[in-house]
Amino acid sequence: MLEVKTIAVNPQNTSQDCSNCGEKVPKELSQRTHSCLRCGIIIDRDLNVAINIKNRAAGHPVLKARACPMQWQDCETRSLH
Ligand SMILES: [Zn+2]
């Protein structure tokens, strides 16, 4: 369902942390809705997890991690576009 194959992200607490304000919102596995008392957001539990993973992945240096052994300068130019 989620495309997390290429980026390694620590999934710990992604289901508990509020994707909107970062507040930890403990919930049971059977609880399908994420509702945060701090910021008032009410969204699907899976959506909250997806946003958390996306936010964590956004800090990952994807372009720098790309292997580019032969033509260094070409690669750097392209990654700046
Ligand atoms: Zn919140």
DSSP letters spanning 27-78: --TT--EEE-TTT--EEEHHHHHHHHHHHHHHTS-HHHHS---S-HHHHHHH
Distance 71 CA to ligand 1 centre (A): 45
Distance 35 CA to ligand 1 centre (A): 8
Which tokens is 17 given? 């942390």
Span 1-44, pLDDT tens digits: 655 566 666 667 788 999 999 999 999 889 999 999 999 999 99
Distance, in Å, from the CA atom of 67 to the CA atom of 75, rounded to the nearest integer, reads: 9
Which tokens is 66 given? 């790309």
Interior CA angle at 72 toward 79 and 74, to 5°? 55
Distance 39 CA to ligand 1 centre (A): 4
pTM of the predicted protein model? 0.59
Average pLDDT over residues 43-72: 72
